[in-house]
Structure 1
């Protein structure tokens, strides 16, 4: 009763809690705390709203950019400009969100603000990409679209030449933005932001390479394709069922002429035309002569392209062509896999006898079936004529009306990226530009980590159609002037029934009778495995299936070259391991892929060291 009275009368006791704490003092603490909590919640909601706005607008910008790119390639100027404008609008909205007040505050917090700072940098690059590159490309889309430049088998070389300054500006802007993208700081945490940064860097790098190569093409193509007068090129068809350094054995050739962007073919022949002639040798320098000279590469077409450095083979083929009375301005190489890609874009061809060659059967037909169909030595001319006729029909199709120029260019681009098309020019200034593109297929002259595996068939057969390759390049860290590295090459002979194959496929022509060739099982591969290593690398040893073997050491274009010989029976695998000591060189490690029939699996575990 007394307690009730005191509370009603408002005595001092009524202002105290059970533990004696004054209520007013507690209220003075609680209300500010609640206020801070409300502000934090409001700030979090505001920041979350801006983060969602940035994310959704960046995704919308990416989608619109992809639609703009497709419209440009199709020559649809209206849609290209509309989608590019949408991309720019979304990119601006994303940047506004990423530079809003709550985002600026969050980005300023040490460590915790790292992802927000990265997000701001990403939004800046995306907006600049949409404004400085994508929108101008879309506005100029009609003149540079494949449908506009390529029609009725002719490339509009003069339009391409006139647009070269504009294309060069696009390339310069894209390169600048690629540099900015790679300067974006790595967030301290938040995997989503790490992935967004990596994706943007990959996209800007691809775009920079694409536009740089396009600008180079605009400088190169007009002259090379006859804008200033007719040009002629030796076109070699490589049979990569019998491996050579640039891909495969020279199986046939043609002379392609270009006049004002219009191609024509007036000569197609098999390698018999070269095999029946005697050529005067040429020298490609003491280094080349020391490594390959004993095989007579400049006089025997079968050994003309053992090196993976395409300009060597090109100069030899040019010499052979001109000693045969045919003057050429350069050399083009192509293989059956590339022809298959082209048929996928142009449609199948029907041979005079009614047989249909498609994208799905072109490789098998030319690399396997033809040899089984013509198994005997007396059939070889018929087989080569058959392959020559297929190549001629494909070339005719490319040079005629193409339904989808974009599809054709995509097919050619895929073949180039896989090193299945190579180009060399006898004009030094053009060749210098070519060597800045994927078309040149050169051995690089720089110190960056390098592991080029080159396979050459020594068995005189076509067993590389059945070859499976796996390559792994591993190196230690960046401390010290040198480091240990290992290059592992696993070669599997996938022949399952060697006795069912004719001798021209699975025979032992390359095995010496003095070494018991008749005792070697049919279907056995006799293979040269050459490693072109990082400049300055030293060989420690070479192992084959666990046993140490000898290796021949040479030098090619400044790279140490180590060649091992292996014999692989049908159904077996040989694992060749090169143990090295190499300089701790700056740069990204490279493992170029030799274009044989099947794909190759590669694994690179080499840290990138600073300069």
Structure 2
């Protein structure tokens, strides 16, 4: 049965057709229908391609010869890739020319034509320029990993770096062009297509960027051109710091031609009393100087900008040992949980299994009750770190675990639970662009960052819940009003916690109870934003203003009693808030619950 079109939508379509010459209108209708079919065919091929790639990377060692030889999976992927590119190219060709260009320039009525042209052009560029180098690398890298292990496969990325970098640039340009397409028109199908393309690009662009960064820096960082040494910090997120948690146990990791090994393990007491000499600039000194990050190891990573902490750790290590390190890596029990889910449990010297399900609880809660002696507890942390790390090192050489490990690393990346810094300026410049760089971005645009630092010396952030609601308001000549609502909840029980967990080393002048906590709460706004006023639990409160990497920062010293919630509301004016903000997610035990409300477009 044919579907009839009624109402204002039909009238607008007829009006659009009437504005154009009849022949041009007929041409647009016919080519538009054909282009839609071509785009659907390209989408079908790309879905099949994605399934084929997933199947080839999950092939176990018993199937490795077929993958390495490329007799089955690789030709099938090439065929699907060529077919998708051909369909997308035809859709692009069908939507170019004088008729389509003229139609797309019509005020209001031309919006869907402009959108369809943009979708076809984006699909053509993605299928032709972005996906080929990424897809073609998968079978070869997978075969290398099956033959020699993950690190050696990553060494092979070096030759792919230029192609990956070009793919990342094209993907980013396509996303920029897509954002300029009309957000709404009189044709819902075009609007849905634009929204779907935008969602896909939001996932694709970071992936291509990270692939390009990995291809450029991983081979050298894995020791392809000479041995490298890295300071590996295990952050304890039960006591919050800007980059995640308190730097506790650590290791020195060696990489030499893709082979990974550990030279030593230690804990934070080894670095207590050391003085690190590093100049991170006047802005850093203004914000963090009073906390003496260069002489108080526990305060070395209060900033959420990981390169600051990494440079500080590098300076500490050199002051302690006289040795230079080539970089720094930070992980936490959440990282170990995600990776141990793939590798299986690690074993502690006493036979205790360290598993994906118990590593967080064992290292950040149970161990405080197990060991009354601080030295014994810290020794346990080191043994736990050693056992987990050695289990992971064995796993990266096992080709059977390659696909699951890569998926786990992706999950670690999405949760922000691993951060990497290189002492080589060229490598660091690339790392800073990717998800593992742990950088506080210094680019313009709407931004919302909630960062907490434990100011009490407790281990109560294991029980901390955080939520952030970013709600845009009315547009003005100076930007848009924004309301940021921060809720912090302390779920610490009223009894049963060891004294070491609840002790208040800050020695507050007011009465506290076991389980009460204290936090330095920082809210990072977008560049150029201003705070109009703030309330805490409904009452006006004054926040301490500051600046870090171009972001206005507003700080509150907050007492957070056990079994309580407190709500901080900031009323801001953001100069660029016509789109969703970048959210800074500090990785703690419990993930941040962030909600971004939709903004109505500001008048042109």
1:555 aligns with 2:547: yes
- Counterparts of 1:307-322 in structure 2, within 5 Å, are 307-322=303-318
Please report how far the alpha carbon of residue 56 of structure 1 lies from its aligned counterpart in structure 2 after TM superposition: 4.8
Please report how far the alpha carbon of residue 514 of structure 1 lies from its aligned counterpart in structure 2 after TM superposition: 3.9
Structure 2 CA distance for aligned equivalents of residues 555 and 47 of structure 1: 54
1:601 aligns with 2:593: yes
1:413-437 Cα distance to aligned partner (Å, 9 max, x none): 2212222111112222222122111
Structure 2 CA distance for aligned equivalents of residues 482 and 184 of structure 1: 22
- Structure 2 CA distance for partners of 1:155 and 1:563, relative to 1, 3 Å: same
Please report how far the alpha carbon of residue 364 of structure 1 lies from its aligned counterpart in structure 2 after TM superposition: 2.0
Structure 2 CA distance for aligned equivalents of residues 146 and 346 of structure 1: 20
User: What does residue 288 of structure 1 align with?
Assistant: 284
User: What does residue 84 of structure 2 align with?
Assistant: 87
Q: Secondary structure at the match of 1:302?
A: helix
Q: Secondary structure at the match of 1:500?
A: coil
- Structure 2 CA distance for partners of 1:404 and 1:388, relative to 1, 3 Å: closer
Please report how far the alpha carbon of residue 553 of structure 1 lies from its aligned counterpart in structure 2 after TM superposition: 2.6
Please report how far the alpha carbon of residue 465 of structure 1 lies from its aligned counterpart in structure 2 after TM superposition: 1.1
- Structure 2 CA distance for partners of 1:48 and 1:370, relative to 1, 3 Å: same
User: What does residue 505 of structure 2 align with?
Assistant: 510
Structure 2 CA distance for aligned equivalents of residues 544 and 591 of structure 1: 22
Q: Secondary structure at the match of 2:436?
A: coil
Structure 2 CA distance for aligned equivalents of residues 163 and 380 of structure 1: 46
Aligned with 2:47 (options 50, 63, 66) = 63
From the CA coordinates, give the structure whose radius of gyration is larger.
1
1:310-343 Cα distance to aligned partner (Å, 9 max, x none): 1111111111111121321111111111111111
Task: Assess if the C-alpha contact under 8 Å between 1:54 and 1:95 holds in 2.
Answer: no
1:515-548 Cα distance to aligned partner (Å, 9 max, x none): 33xxx12111211111222334443333221223
Structure 2 CA distance for aligned equivalents of residues 125 and 283 of structure 1: 45
Q: Secondary structure at the match of 1:324?
A: helix
Please report how far the alpha carbon of residue 401 of structure 1 lies from its aligned counterpart in structure 2 after TM superposition: 2.2
Please report how far the alpha carbon of residue 493 of structure 1 lies from its aligned counterpart in structure 2 after TM superposition: 1.1
Please report how far the alpha carbon of residue 488 of structure 1 lies from its aligned counterpart in structure 2 after TM superposition: 1.6
Q: Secondary structure at the match of 2:407?
A: helix
- Structure 2 CA distance for partners of 1:146 and 1:509, relative to 1, 3 Å: farther
Structure 1 CA distance for aligned equivalents of residues 202 and 358 of structure 2: 35
- Structure 2 CA distance for partners of 1:150 and 1:324, relative to 1, 3 Å: farther
Structure 1 residues 563-572 or 147-156, which shifts more?
A: 147-156
Q: Secondary structure at the match of 1:452?
A: strand
Q: Secondary structure at the match of 1:498?
A: coil
Please report how far the alpha carbon of residue 93 of structure 1 lies from its aligned counterpart in structure 2 after TM superposition: 7.1
Q: Secondary structure at the match of 1:163?
A: helix
1:580 aligns with 2:572: yes
Task: Assess if the C-alpha contact under 8 Å between 2:243 and 2:306 holds in 1.
Answer: yes
1:429 aligns with 2:426: yes
Q: Secondary structure at the match of 1:592?
A: strand
Structure 2 CA distance for aligned equivalents of residues 259 and 423 of structure 1: 18
Q: Secondary structure at the match of 2:435?
A: coil
Task: Assess if the C-alpha contact under 8 Å between 1:270 and 1:388 holds in 2.
Answer: no
- Structure 2 CA distance for partners of 1:565 and 1:476, relative to 1, 3 Å: same
- Counterparts of 1:194-213 in structure 2, within 5 Å, are 194-213=191-210
1:251 aligns with 2:237: no
Please report how far the alpha carbon of residue 593 of structure 1 lies from its aligned counterpart in structure 2 after TM superposition: 0.8
- Counterparts of 1:435-474 in structure 2, within 5 Å, are 435-474=432-471
- Structure 2 CA distance for partners of 1:116 and 1:65, relative to 1, 3 Å: farther
Please report how far the alpha carbon of residue 94 of structure 1 lies from its aligned counterpart in structure 2 after TM superposition: 6.1
Structure 2 CA distance for aligned equivalents of residues 610 and 435 of structure 1: 35
Q: Secondary structure at the match of 2:393?
A: helix
When normalised by structure 1's length, the TM-score is: 0.82
1:239-294 Cα distance to aligned partner (Å, 9 max, x none): 1111000000001110011111221111111112112x432544422222222222
- Counterparts of 1:129-168 in structure 2, within 5 Å, are 129-135=126-132, 137-145=134-142, 148=145, 151-152=148-149, 154-156=151-153, 158-168=155-165
- Counterparts of 1:385-424 in structure 2, within 5 Å, are 385-424=382-421
Please report how far the alpha carbon of residue 356 of structure 1 lies from its aligned counterpart in structure 2 after TM superposition: 2.2
User: What does residue 27 of structure 1 align with?
Assistant: none
RMSD: 3.6
- Structure 2 CA distance for partners of 1:508 and 1:227, relative to 1, 3 Å: same
Q: Secondary structure at the match of 2:495?
A: helix
Structure 2 CA distance for aligned equivalents of residues 483 and 88 of structure 1: 42
- Counterparts of 1:150-549 in structure 2, within 5 Å, are 151-152=148-149, 154-156=151-153, 158-186=155-183, 188-275=185-272, 277-325=273-321, 326-377=323-374, 379-495=376-492, 497-505=493-501, 507-512=502-507, 514-516=509-511, 520-549=512-541
1:126 aligns with 2:123: yes
Task: Assess if the C-alpha contact under 8 Å between 2:367 and 2:377 holds in 1.
Answer: no
- Structure 2 CA distance for partners of 1:531 and 1:128, relative to 1, 3 Å: closer
Please report how far the alpha carbon of residue 162 of structure 1 lies from its aligned counterpart in structure 2 after TM superposition: 1.9
Structure 1 CA distance for aligned equivalents of residues 183 and 539 of structure 2: 45
Q: Secondary structure at the match of 2:400?
A: coil
- Structure 2 CA distance for partners of 1:385 and 1:595, relative to 1, 3 Å: same
Please report how far the alpha carbon of residue 44 of structure 1 lies from its aligned counterpart in structure 2 after TM superposition: 13
- Structure 2 CA distance for partners of 1:96 and 1:78, relative to 1, 3 Å: same
Task: Assess if the C-alpha contact under 8 Å between 1:269 and 1:388 holds in 2.
Answer: no
Task: Assess if the C-alpha contact under 8 Å between 1:535 and 1:560 holds in 2.
Answer: yes
Structure 2 CA distance for aligned equivalents of residues 48 and 229 of structure 1: 56
